[in-house]
Amino acid sequence: MSALKVIKMGNPILRQIAKEMTIEEILSEETKKLIADLLDTMKAEGGIGIAAPQVGISKSICLIQIEESNPRYKEASNYPLTIIINPKITILDENLQGFWEGCLSVPHLRGFVERPRKVQIDYLDENARPQSIVAEDFLATVYQHELDHLFGKIYVDRVKSLELLMYQDELIQLQESNKSQT
Ligand code: ZN
């Protein structure tokens, strides 16, 4: 198993709607290898989620795993590895919440994005079994960010003002100086 190259914003594959997977395809050895490679890639890059289009494969599959130790996302708590295939999303609470999002396909930047605070995701797992989860708060944002990749969207599309798009090191510096002032 190996880490794959992550494609960056500008690559047209990130703008395609990813192809739904058949049951046979989900259960194939090829998909088992893809899942292992996506996990390796996500870990190598220090991400908390990754979608197949980000490694240039336009298939409707993404992974989420939040490790307690991830220094890039202090909002996040432990969340076990979840493999999401052919997802459908339903908004359960339209009230918006905002977080500074980052993306492996948009290196060095962070953007403030507001999204619904509670969603339901119906999907197939790696064994092609139907699953349904309800995600709230930061986790709702993580799911919506990853699912966006399967529908040809990138978080920067949802940043309302370019002033809310920053280099990560500037954002961290700003947050540190705000902290020391209060
Ligand atoms: Zn992303």
Confidence at residue 154, expressed as pLDDT on a 0 to 100 scale: 98
| CA 50 to ligand 1 centroid distance, Å | 7
Q: How far is the CA of 161 from the centre of ligand 1 (A)?
A: 19
Q: What is the whole-number distance in angstroms between the Cα of residue 180 and the centre of ligand 1?
A: 31
Q: How far is the CA of 181 from the centre of ligand 1 (A)?
A: 32
Query: Among this protein's residues, is 176 annotated catalytic?
Result: no
Digit-coded pLDDT (tens) for 29-45: 999 999 999 999 999 99
What is residue 180's predicted lDDT score, i.e. its pLDDT? Answer: 81
pTM of the model: 0.94
Measured in Å, residue 99 CA sits from the centre of ligand 1 at: 14
Distance 23 CA to ligand 1 centre (A): 26
Note whether 64 and 37 are within 8 A (CB): no
Residue 21 has pLDDT above 80, yes or no: yes
Q: What is the C-alpha to C-alpha distance for residues 139 and 115, in angstroms, rounded to an integer? A: 11
What's the alpha-carbon Rg for the chain, to the nearest Å? 16
* pLDDT at 74 (0 to 100): 65
Read off the pLDDT band of 128 (50, 70, 90).
very high
Instruction: Look at residue 165 and tell me whether its pLDDT is greater than 70.
Output: yes
146, 163, 170, 176: which one is catalytic?
146
What is the chain's mean pLDDT, rounded? 95
- Cα distances from 25 to residues 21, 34, 53, 86, in angstroms, run 6, 11, 16, 12
Taking only the tens place, the pLDDT of each residue in 70-105 is 766 666 678 999 999 999 999 999 999 999 999 999
Give 127 Cα–ligand 1 centroid separation in angstroms: 24
